[in-house]
Amino acid sequence: MPILVFDSGIGGLGVVAQLRALAPGVALTYLADNGFFPYGEKPDDILLARILDVVGRAIAHLRPQALVVACNTASTIALPALREAFSLPIIGCVPPIKPAAAASTSKTIGVLATAATVRRPYLSNLIARFAPACTVLSLGTPSLAELAERKFRGASVDVAPAIAPLFTQPGGEAIDAIALGCTHYSFLLPEFAALYPGISWFDPALPVARQTLSRLTPLPPLAETGQTAYFISETLPLPLLAPYGFNRAETCQW
């Protein structure tokens, strides 16, 4: 009974890496709905139906002991419906507003996310709860997740045009901490830090991994038959996935 980690693409592999670091013996299965990538620009009703269908088929086939929705967009749309439909523990992913607000000395923080995450009340509720004393400037960008996918496959990427509008909006020059509201963006942290070295960047992957492991006692044993990454469409080359502990990559047949 593995933990099933779900994302629209490669973003959730950052959560996988943190789970491996915290619990090397954990049995994991990965599911990427790359046939419907990117999630962040699609209508909510279509996405909700898609997520319930894809995740439902995966749960029926794989029988995981827990589900990690390692996608901010999917979490903001589908967590209540998933928890109503399935009885297993389901862990979502939220932008790390709280630690960013706590770390900021200027009390001006940024949020980088997909357009879908930025426009939902979910984000404004997090800001009201965890950053009431801060000015919070958000940017919903359609291109960073795609750039992360390209970088993962070995391409050189330029993130500067996509991220610059966060800082050019009024008050943006005061930003000193940024919460990443999409797990894909974890893979672009070196580029972000090189462009803006004086800023503290907060990645959601580690908090999600910690929350997952806190819900599961005892941990499952390492799967003797190996651990598999599933993809709805294009299967990534296994050498790209091996560093994350997977020794099989398959296209879903269910």
Give the residue numbers marked as catalytic: 71, 182
35-47 burial, b at 16+ Cβ within 10 Å, e below that, comes to ebbbbbebeeeeb
Q: d(Cα 221, Cα 58) in Å, to the nearest integer?
A: 20
The angle that helices 144-152 and 160-168 make with each other, rounded to 10 degrees, is: 150
Q: 151: which residues sit within 8 A by CB, 6+ positions away?
A: 157, 187, 188, 191
Q: d(Cα 176, Cα 107) in Å, to the nearest integer?
A: 8
In this structure, how many other beta carbons lie within 10 angstroms of the beta carbon of residue 119?
Answer: 15
Q: 240: which residues sit within 8 A by CB, 6+ positions away?
A: 152, 153
Q: Read off the DSSP letter of residue 188.
A: G
Q: Which uninterrupted H or E stretch holds 236?
A: none
HSE at residue 194, side-chain half, CA atoms within 13 A, is 8
Provide the residue type at 82 as one letter.
L
From the list 48, 165, 36, 185, the residue with the least C-alpha distance to 113 is: 185
Q: d(Cα 11, Cα 7) in Å, to the nearest integer?
A: 6
Q: Locate tokens 């959730």: which residue? A: 12
From the list 44, 38, 87, 95, the residue with the least C-alpha distance to 67 is: 87
